Amino acid sequence: MALLAVLTFEAAAQRLPRRRDTLGIRTYLKKPLGEIDFFSTRPDTLSLFFLGDVMSHGAMLRSAFSEYRKSHPDARSDRHECYDYTSFFSRLHGQIASADVAICNMEFPLAGPPFSGYPSFSGPDSYLDYLEKTGFDVILLANNHILDKGDLGLERTIKICNDLEKRTGARYTGVFSSREDRDSRYPLIIESRGVKIAVINFTYGTNSAGKKALPGVNRTSREEIRSAIRKAKERECDIIIAIPHWGNEYQMTHSAYQEELARFMAGEGVDLIVGAHPHVAQDIMTIKTRDKEVPVIYSLGNAVSNQNDLIARLELSLTVKIALHRNGELEMMSPKPEFLWCTKPGTVEDSYCVVRVKAEAGRKKEWRNPSDHEKMMTTYEKVKKATHINEEDYSN
């Protein structure tokens, strides 16, 4: 299966269906020729950046609390603001903040204190604030842990995300408080640089079941996925992105079910599929439909976690660039994956810190724990071999 996947992937740009007048050509043509600025400062590229599962394990809570206490000795562990996550994505901040749209999966509810890690998560509100300040524009919530604290935990999570959205404009999707709210977030439609993007986020299930119909979580339903894709087309979205929470944990190649569902979504009109949940990176392929080619990144793995399995510490980021042509056409360039490594406290920083593998490859002597650098490089080669992902194959 993995060999088939790599053989069917072609690192090439592809034209997207023209669903609307993205660059306002019709508006231009209504003006006198002398008033048309064909060389305006409008950017010609839209950049999307994706990370996988943002976890909140118990050790991560303790580390973030310890970091905060360095400057606030009287801090209390039941206070949302008493957690410092600054180092977590400090070495990716430039990539995240510079992207036009940055997306990650927040795999825990904001259920309030007492804060807890696996198996029943509840993270402090300051963690979400940190993700927004780092530069994430869209927070995904359709995952198996979002109902860990039941209906009340989900209700509070939605409230806090709504408050953040009003304050900062950061969006969320995957969960809903009412049927009307669901219609407005499934798909989530955002606009950046004049490009209208639909995000469809759903999960195979949840570890805990809510007792009420509302609030709710988007589930893997082909009927609902088809409906969301249809809505995206009706609303003239230029690109449709599906981000499913799916797959078998710790398996570095995708399952037959994942591929079957991916082919269904590609056939319905999705332009890009980026998966989460397995906690490890999985292989990449392209699915050819009648009128286009759809890249499928089956799993990015974790974004940051306390998992000890080495293959769960090696993960992917994904950058996708959309070229905006003056004739109104959009062209999606080859998705660019990059391997990352989640370091533990005391390795490169006092707390957790995600680093870019290739950027750190020659810096072993600079690490506080050089043996962890060796683990990173050995795991890097192992995962590349298992997934057939070579970053150089995806350079544009």
User: What whole-number distance in Å separates Cα of residue 370 and Cα of residue 29?
Assistant: 62
For the chain, report the end-to-end CA distance as a whole number of angstroms. Answer: 26
Q: What is the pLDDT of residues 256-274, one digit of tens each?
A: 999 999 999 999 999 999 9
State the burial class of residue 105 (Cβ atoms within 10 Å of its Cβ: 0-12, 13-18, 19+): buried
Give the CA distances from residue 129 to residues 58, 108, 111, 170, in Å, rounded to whole numbers and listed in that order.
19, 14, 15, 10
Q: What is the pLDDT of residues 63-92, one digit of tens each?
A: 999 999 999 999 999 999 999 999 999 999
Average pLDDT over every residue of 276-298 = 96
Q: What is the pLDDT of residues 212-264, one digit of tens each?
A: 989 999 999 999 999 999 999 999 999 999 999 999 999 999 999 999 999 99
Give the start-to-end residue ranges of the domains of the chain.
2-29+45-394
Average pLDDT over every residue of 9-24 = 61
Answer with the residue of higher pLDDT: 297 or 30: 297
Quote the CATH superfamily of domain 2-29+45-394: Metallo-dependent phosphatases (3.60.21.10)
Write the single-letter amino acid at 227: S
Q: What is the pLDDT of residues 136-147, one digit of tens each?
A: 999 999 999 999
The alpha carbon of residue 29 and the mean position of all alpha carbons in its chain are separated, in whole angstroms, by 38
Q: Is the pLDDT of residue 35 over 60?
A: no
Q: For position 99, what pLDDT does the model report?
A: 97
Q: What is the 3-state secondary structure (H, E, C) of 334-391?
A: CCEEEEEEEECCCCCCCCCEEEEHHHHCCCHHHCCCHHHHHHHHHHHHHHHHHHCCCH
Q: Which two tokens stand for residue 147?
A: 């109902």
